[in-house]
Structure 1
Amino acid sequence: MRTGGDTMLIVRDGAYYQPNDDRQAKAGSIEHHVWLLTLNDALFLSPLQDPQRVLDVGTGTGLWAVDMGDRYPSCEIIGTDLSPTQVPYAPPNVRFEIDDCCSEWTYPENSFDLIHVRGLTGSVGNWPKFYQECMKHLRPKGYLEQLEFGIDIYTEPKETPYSDIIRSFGPLLLEAGDRMNKTFEVATHMSRMIEQAGFVDVVTKRFLWPIGPWSDDERLKELGRWNLKNWEDGMEGWVMALLTRIHGWSYQEVQNYRARLLKGVKSDEVKAWHDVLVVPFASPYTPFAD
């Protein structure tokens, strides 16, 4: 299906809301780079020493899985997504599979040292079930690591000529997700949901992503420069299906909204940012493990 020029993936009555075309793949590559800048080039924060088998759920462009394969050549990495992931330069220890993480998982139990989840906000209808699958398929000393973006945009100063348009972004996504029964309020609640699923040692780290190079801190300035590019290239794909299919907007209304919001966050009058949250090492509850 095509929506406003984008090829949309329709699986199980609209399970996925973002395009799966080359343009969105480019945006995904930029976002991967922003995550690497955020984590100081680390691919995971869990205290794993020698991972042997890793699952990357919602692998998208597959870049994280490929980087893992390059850094850990003795580790088997499986990247899954709803549509095919084709990375011609993937190392031999990396493979990609078409799979729906919201269905019953088909891997043997206790299979993985690390389950890596990034950017599934708005894609999962039953998070408790998803976390139970993670619990079931992690090895006793394995880790679940999840990284998600907060949907609310903050500004300094709080009141500007662009405040209304900037503040509208989060509520629009939240309402669309509620109508689809796929919440967009994942980042702020995932640690609680992970604990409720039975994981222990659940830690949450919060990072700031500037939108634009306005920070005096050189690292944040660089991160903001790339995140602005992330928004410029990725925003249309994030919102087009939600605003047209769920909210009933026209294609042109979405384009006008995108242009106005980007004009606001790029204004010299505005310092805009949003949060990203990471649960870096949640462990399965294994009271009798050594």
Structure 2
Amino acid sequence: MPWWVFRRRRSVPASRATGQVVAESAALPPLQGERRFLQEQPYMLPKDLGEVNRLDFQHYVLRALLRANYLAPIGQPQRILDVGCGTGQWAFELCQQFPQAEVVGVDLEQVKATTPPSNYRFVQGDVLRGLPFADASFDFVHQRLLTSALPLAAWPEVVRELARVAAPGGWVELVEPGLGLRVTPAGPANEKLLSMGTQLAAQRGLDTEGAVARSLERYLQEARLVNVYMRTVEAPVGEWGGRIGSLLALDLREIWKAISTPLAAYFNLSQQEVYNLIESANQEWNSLRAYCSFIVGYGQKPFTP
């Protein structure tokens, strides 16, 4: 097994004048294969057309599971920010829901070549290096499913950065998987696949044990947000769980397939062996009636410091 030297990014407090979060560079192990990976970022999943399609699909699954695009009591916001906006689909739907609002999406790059709503604006940026907005700029700040993108050590400062750009009385909402890629109960194929995935993620400084989900409430509170609320949503994984279960199983399979080449290379396996393991895990989801969970947390920026 190759040995990679990894130096985890170390965040330092954001400047209130510039909003910049300074991070040390990291020597990251390459993620190679036929998919397109960002080699200079901790992000473990690809950035290509296949991932665009999966992210849109995942958006619809989450919306069906939560029965909403957000849970915070946001009222009628005038400015909305989606951090790590991906394909922009969540933001596009907020544009339709709040036509009076300006909706801004921030990500490393714009990945979907479509004509966005007139009240949508994309801004290229990296939350690890600070959001390019002034303090108190947005009535609603949204971020979800970035445990595969943000180093564990950076999370407290990232949430403080989200709170920095929220306006007084505005809301910050986070959504993350409760157990990462783990499902429960998990059979031997799932356990082996998870062990491989967590080792690969650990090389990039990412959360491998569900620490982010367990800490969301604390992150929000340490960012000096009030009226913090947490909700856990459990969902079946597999055809046994009906439509939602089937959709989540498909999403999980596509996630594992997306990193199958790096897994095969790292553990000296053939790609077919990894595919066989994924299929065995899929069968276990049904036979064991597996579940996964998502954690939604939100808090409000106080009106007075």
Q: Secondary structure at the match of 1:224?
A: helix
Distance change in 2, residues 1:36/1:188 (3 Å)? same
Q: How many residues align?
A: 270
Q: Give aligned-pair identity as a percent.
A: 24
Contact 1:56 1:80 in 2 (8 A): yes
Q: Which residue of 2 aligns with 1:141?
A: 169
1:121-200 aligned at under 5 Å gives the runs 121-125=147-151, 126-149=154-177, 150-151=179-180, 152-155=182-185, 163-184=187-208, 185=210, 186-200=212-226
Q: Secondary structure at the match of 1:7?
A: coil
Q: Secondary structure at the match of 2:167?
A: strand
Query: Is it true that 1:254 corresponds to 2:274 in the alignment?
Result: yes
| Aligned residue type for 1:236 | K
Q: Which residue of 2 aligns with 1:228?
A: 249
Contact 1:56 1:78 in 2 (8 A): yes
Q: Distance in 2 between matches of 1:243 and 1:10?
A: 15
Distance change in 2, residues 1:206/1:172 (3 Å)? farther
Contact 1:153 1:167 in 2 (8 A): no
Distance change in 2, residues 1:127/1:33 (3 Å)? same
Normalising by structure 2, report the TM-score. 0.80
Can you list the C-alpha shifts for 1:222-250, whole angstroms capped at 9, x where unaligned? 2112212212333312x337635766655
Q: Which residue of 1 aligns with 2:289?
A: 271
Contact 1:179 1:246 in 2 (8 A): no
Distance change in 2, residues 1:164/1:135 (3 Å)? same
Q: Secondary structure at the match of 2:75?
A: coil
Q: Which residue of 1 aligns with 2:240?
A: 214
Can you list the C-alpha shifts for 1:103-143, whole angstroms capped at 9, x where unaligned? 02221110011111111013112011101111211001111
Shift, 1:176, TM fit: 3.2
Moved more, 195-204 or 44-53: 195-204
Shift, 1:25, TM fit: 1.4
Moved more, 249-258 or 96-105: 249-258
Can you list the C-alpha shifts for 1:136-171, whole angstroms capped at 9, x where unaligned? 11001111101111222102xx7xxxx112234444
Shift, 1:45, TM fit: 1.1
Match of 2:56 among 8, 11, 29: 29
Normalising by structure 1, report the TM-score. 0.84
Q: Which residue of 1 aligns with 2:85?
A: 59
| Aligned residue type for 1:117 | Q
CA root-mean-square deviation: 2.3
Q: Which residue of 2 aligns with 1:218?
A: none
| Aligned residue type for 1:166 | N
Query: Is it true that 1:39 corresponds to 2:63 in the alignment?
Result: no
| Aligned residue type for 1:223 | I
Distance change in 2, residues 1:182/1:247 (3 Å)? farther
Match of 2:44 among 13, 17, 32: 17
Q: Secondary structure at the match of 2:168?
A: strand
Q: Distance in 2 between matches of 1:245 and 1:98?
A: 32
Contact 1:114 1:143 in 2 (8 A): yes
Can you list the C-alpha shifts for 1:31-79, whole angstroms capped at 9, x where unaligned? 1111111121x22111111111111111112110111111111111111
Query: Is it true that 1:282 corresponds to 2:291 in the alignment?
Result: no
Distance change in 2, residues 1:23/1:192 (3 Å)? same
Q: Distance in 1 between matches of 2:162 and 2:267?
A: 33
Runs of 5+ consecutive residues of structure 2 not aligned to the other structure: 1-29
Q: Secondary structure at the match of 1:203?
A: strand
| Aligned residue type for 2:216 | M
Contact 1:17 1:241 in 2 (8 A): no
Distance change in 2, residues 1:172/1:196 (3 Å)? farther
Q: Distance in 1 between matches of 2:202 and 2:218?
A: 19
| Aligned residue type for 1:165 | A
Q: Distance in 2 between matches of 1:141 and 1:9?
A: 36
Q: Distance in 2 between matches of 1:205 and 1:284?
A: 19
Q: Secondary structure at the match of 2:38?
A: coil
Runs of 5+ consecutive residues of structure 1 not aligned to the other structure: 216-220
| Aligned residue type for 1:275 | S
